[in-house]
């Protein structure tokens, strides 16, 4: 239910922000897509400026710690299962082509985590939810329950932000509750779209298409 009064458990409330979260979320999506179509120098150009922003490095390191096993598994699978010339001719070693492919995809994952860290720092949980709400609002006429979607997204984002206690993965496997109850009140920043909010995503997406088609 969308509320307009004071905070009440289970309601959604709207606040006003200077920048429109939906436009920033679109720009973030375009940046993530663009990072999948560039090589290592392009990744460096995309990522290095993000680390100069306060808080991004801390969030990125936290995400990296949580995905370290995924990152290692991704590298090993690609390095050993990509056909090519074995390293130094050893039968048990990964291939040169596999290591190159593994390094590229590992770098893409690191860039993605950096972009997610920037998104959390720039918008926060409430801003991300507000951006998704704005992007999905036109689909409400097709019967999509936006409030249920927002509540579930809030729980997922809360799990990403909160540090997992020791042994939490065992609770996930056994279906036991993880101890995170989410927010009693979900605040959504809402405001009218301005001309820059409409133009910047269009320009960024046009540049993305030009880059991959050129």
Residues 128, 156 contacting (CB under 8 angstroms): no
The percentage of the chain sitting over the pLDDT mark of 90, rounded to a whole number, equals: 7
Rounded to 10 deg, the angle between the 40-51 and 21-35 helix axes is: 150
pLDDT digit string, tens, across residues 25-68 = 888 888 888 888 877 777 888 788 888 888 888 888 988 888 88
The pLDDT score that the predictor gives to residue 214 is: 66
Distances (CA, A) of 155 to 24, 30, 105, 163, 179: 21, 25, 28, 14, 11
The predicted structure's pLDDT at residue 4: 40
Distant-in-sequence, close-in-space partners of 204: CB < 8 Å, separation ≥ 6: 26, 27, 30, 31
Q: What predicted TM-score, i.e. pTM, was given to this entire model?
A: 0.70
What are the pLDDT digits (tens) for 124-168? Answer: 777 788 788 877 777 777 777 777 777 777 777 766 666 656 655
| The predicted structure's pLDDT at residue 5 | 42
State the angle between helix axes of 146-161 and 96-136 in degrees (0 to 180), rounded to the nearest 10: 130
Mean pLDDT of the chain: 75
Given its phi and psi angles, is residue 74 left (phi above 0), alpha (psi -120 to 50 degrees) or beta? alpha
What confidence score (pLDDT) does residue 139 get?
77
Query: Residue by residue, what is the 3-state secondary structure of 193-213?
Result: CCHHHHHHHHHHHHHHHHHHH
């Amino acid at each position: 239910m969308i509320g307009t009064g004071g905070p009440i458990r289970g309601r959604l409330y709207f606040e006003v922000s200077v920048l429109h979260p939906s436009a920033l979320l679109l720009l973030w999506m375009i940046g993530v897509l663009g990072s999948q179509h560039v090589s290592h120098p392009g990744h460096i150009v995309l990522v290095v400026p993000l680390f100069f922003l306060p808080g991004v490095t801390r969030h990125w390191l936290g995400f990296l710690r949580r995905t370290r096993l995924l990152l290692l598994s991704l590298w090993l699978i690609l390095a050993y299962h990509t056909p090519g010339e074995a390293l130094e001719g050893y039968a048990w070693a990964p291939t040169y082509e596999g290591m190159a492919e593994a390094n590229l995809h590992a770098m893409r994952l690191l860039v993605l985590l950096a972009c997610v860290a920037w998104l959390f720092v720039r918008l926060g949980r409430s801003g991300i939810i507000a951006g998704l709400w704005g992007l999905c609002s036109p689909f409400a006429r097709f019967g999509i329950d936006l409030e249920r979607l927002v509540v579930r997204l809030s729980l997922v984002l809360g799990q990403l932000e909160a540090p997992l206690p020791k042994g939490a993965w065992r609770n996930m496997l056994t279906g036991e509750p993880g101890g995170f109850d989410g927010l009693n009140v979900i605040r959504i920043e809402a405001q009218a779209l301005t001309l820059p909010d409409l133009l910047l995503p269009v320009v960024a997406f046009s540049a993305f298409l030009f880059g991959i088609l050129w």
